[in-house]
């Protein structure tokens, strides 16, 4: 029973962070229709930025977000303006190829600067634990859980209660009609893409304490994000966060209860099983 509680707690905590990773992709897809296959490599970029700031200034990853979040947001805006926007409206595969190419550029750029050896970025909370009965919780996971849900709630409120949020929803529903109503669709798309990349910088800092990083890890994060986004229904924030929790719990159960490749495959097996019965994702069940 202790292992069950430990698996549930670990899965919920890490799953919330997976949900945060997916919120950025869901936000971008909802406004521009772009599926960013370099998503995971932007997460890697954020992590290695934190590593560079720690190496240069002994800056804790949680503190480094005051630099990495604005910087990654600016990079996201430039990437969309000069690379993504010229391709929007063309064949879907052309956009896929562009983002895959961007993934390779980011991965190899990180490799040239930092080398190929795994690295770690220490944090003042890295080794801190909270013990609840027989369940042991890592403080970095708790911080990531709290921040992820706080940001998800903040994004929900922003979309519902601010002019910019209403502009995002209008562009998502009908970009042409939004333009006729005076909304600058291009500006909304740029800012939304930049916001999505900025969220990844925050998520990178939350995932980093105690986690070995390497330049080739981006693909794993991209795949996990795609699983969560598709499971959640692409543009539904509630469904995406729920999908993140499901994938996180499946990963924890696979690690604790199953050995070898089957344990690693459990999240994908559960994903396929859910999609067989709910092909439109978790939003289908919430809409009924």
- Domain at 92, CATH number: 1.10.3470
pLDDT in tens, 127-149: 899 998 888 999 999 999 999 99
Q: Nearest CA to 24 among 183, 278, 221, 175?
A: 221
| pLDDT given for residue 259 in this prediction | 77
Q: If you average pLDDT over residues 195-203, what whole number do you get? A: 95
What gap in Å lies between CA 252 and CA 246, rounded to an integer? 10
What proportion of the chain, given as a percentage, has pLDDT over 90?
70
| pLDDT given for residue 46 in this prediction | 97
Question: And the tokens for 186?
Answer: 């291009």
In the chain, DSSP finds a helix count (H) and a strand count (E) of: 12, 2
State which residues form the domain around 251: 2-287
pLDDT in tens, 228-270: 999 988 778 888 999 999 999 999 999 888 877 888 899 999 9
**Neighbour-count burial for 18-51, b at 16+ CB within 10 Å, e otherwise:** bbbbbbbbbbbbbbbebbbbbbbbbbbbbbbbbb
Question: And the tokens for 36?
Answer: 């960013």
Say which DSSP state 82 is in: I
What proportion of the chain, given as a percentage, has pLDDT over 70?
98
| pLDDT given for residue 235 in this prediction | 74
**Please, what is the average pLDDT of the chain?**
91
At residue 36, φ and ψ (nearest 5 deg) are -90, 105
Total count of domains within the chain:
1
């Amino acid at each position: 029973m202790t292992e069950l509680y430990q698996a549930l707690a670990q899965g919920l905590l890490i799953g919330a962070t997976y949900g945060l990773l997916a919120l950025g992709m869901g936000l971008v897809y909802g406004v521009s229709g772009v599926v960013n296959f370099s998503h995971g490599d932007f997460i890697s970029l954020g992590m290695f930025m934190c590593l560079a700031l720690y190496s240069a200034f002994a800056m804790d990853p949680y503190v480094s977000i005051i630099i990495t979040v604005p910087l990654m947001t600016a990079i996201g805006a430039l990437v969309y303006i000069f690379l993504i926007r010229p391709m929007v409206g063309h064949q879907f595969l052309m956009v896929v190829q562009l983002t895959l190419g961007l993934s390779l550029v980011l991965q190899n750029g990180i490799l040239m600067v930092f080398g190929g050896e795994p690295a770690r970025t220490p944090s003042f909370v890295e080794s801190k634990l909270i013990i609840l009965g027989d369940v042991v919780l890592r403080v970095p996971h708790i911080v990531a859980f709290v921040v992820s849900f706080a940001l998800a709630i903040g994004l929900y409120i922003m979309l519902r209660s601010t002019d910019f949020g209403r502009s995002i929803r209008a562009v998502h529903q009908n970009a042409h009609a939004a333009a006729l109503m005076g909304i600058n669709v291009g500006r909304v798309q740029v800012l939304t893409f930049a916001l999505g990349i900025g969220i990844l910088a925050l998520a990178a800092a939350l995932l980093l304490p105690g986690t070995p990083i390497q330049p080739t890890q981006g693909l794993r994060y991209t795949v996990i994000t795609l699983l969560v986004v598709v499971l959640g229904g692409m543009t539904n924030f509630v469904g995406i966060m729920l999908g993140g929790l499901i994938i996180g719990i499946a990963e924890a159960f696979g690690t604790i209860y199953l050995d070898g490749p089957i344990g690693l495959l459990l999240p994908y097996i559960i994903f396929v099983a859910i999609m067989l019965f709910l092909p439109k994702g978790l939003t289908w069940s919430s809409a009924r």
